[in-house]
Structure 1
Amino acid sequence: MTLTDQKIKLLDGTFTPSEASDILNTIVDKKINFHKLQRLSIIEQNCDDETPHLYSRMDELIKAKEAIKEMILEARKEGVELKIESDIQITFIQN
């Protein structure tokens, strides 16, 4: 099997504020929950590990969620739609 980096188009479209809210909040919520589960797993293995990197990342995501909320409210107020584009870059890394 050849290891080939990939770039995948995740989102590319124009959405109503409600659609954009659903899409973006679902993605951010999934990432927050992923980090919560990671943190729980690490703490179960080592109760002394405070996982500061996971708390930091969750804080970033919570702030992003607030920024998204503000943008959605502004879009609704102005009666506009939102164009959302997102690519995922996947790279193979040798350990």
Structure 2
Amino acid sequence: MNPINNSIKLVEGAYSPINAADVLLSLIADKIKFHNLQILSSKDKNDPHIIHAEMRILELKASRDVVIKLIIQARDQGLYMKIDGIVNIKMFKKI
């Protein structure tokens, strides 16, 4: 079976810094929450999925810091922020 690919436009548009903050920081917070729940529900703390989740949380927190800096910069300069967020989805059978 060939992989099936789909793209979904999750976020699109120009936003004021405050609205951009709502959109972007909410997405990041939800992903951090998702990974935290994975970690909390696992009984084996050495599970590779848990190690990946912990690393992803660190990456997401670093991304959050970058987003905050960009939002502050846009706010201070009176700029809007154009956000294009596309999620690519590929379905496949795990071997």
After TM superposition, the score normalised by the length of structure 2 is 0.88
In the TM superposition, what whole-angstrom CA distance separates every residue of 1:61-83 from its partner, at most 9, and x where no partner exists?
A: 00000000000000010000000
The amino acid of 2:12's aligned partner reads D
Could you tell me which residue of structure 2 aligns to residue 38 of structure 1? 38
Task: State whether residues 4 and 92 of structure 2, in contact with CA within 8 Å, keep that contact through their aligned partners in structure 1.
Answer: no
Q: SS of the counterpart of 1:75?
A: helix
Q: SS of the counterpart of 2:92?
A: coil
The amino acid of 1:54's aligned partner reads A
The amino acid of 2:57's aligned partner reads M
**Mind listing any 5+ residue stretches in structure 2 that lack a counterpart?**
none
After TM superposition, the score normalised by the length of structure 1 is 0.88
The amino acid of 1:10's aligned partner reads L
Structure 2 distance, partners of 1:63, 1:81, is: 22
Question: Alignment length, in residue pairs?
Answer: 90
Structure 1 distance, partners of 2:52, 2:87, is: 22
Structure 2 distance, partners of 1:93, 1:58, is: 25
Could you tell me which residue of structure 2 aligns to residue 91 of structure 1? 90
Could you tell me which residue of structure 2 aligns to residue 63 of structure 1? 62
Deviation at 1:30, TM superposition (A): 0.1
Runs of 4+ in 1 over 6 A off after TM superposition: none
1:21 aligns with 2:18: no
The amino acid of 1:77's aligned partner reads D
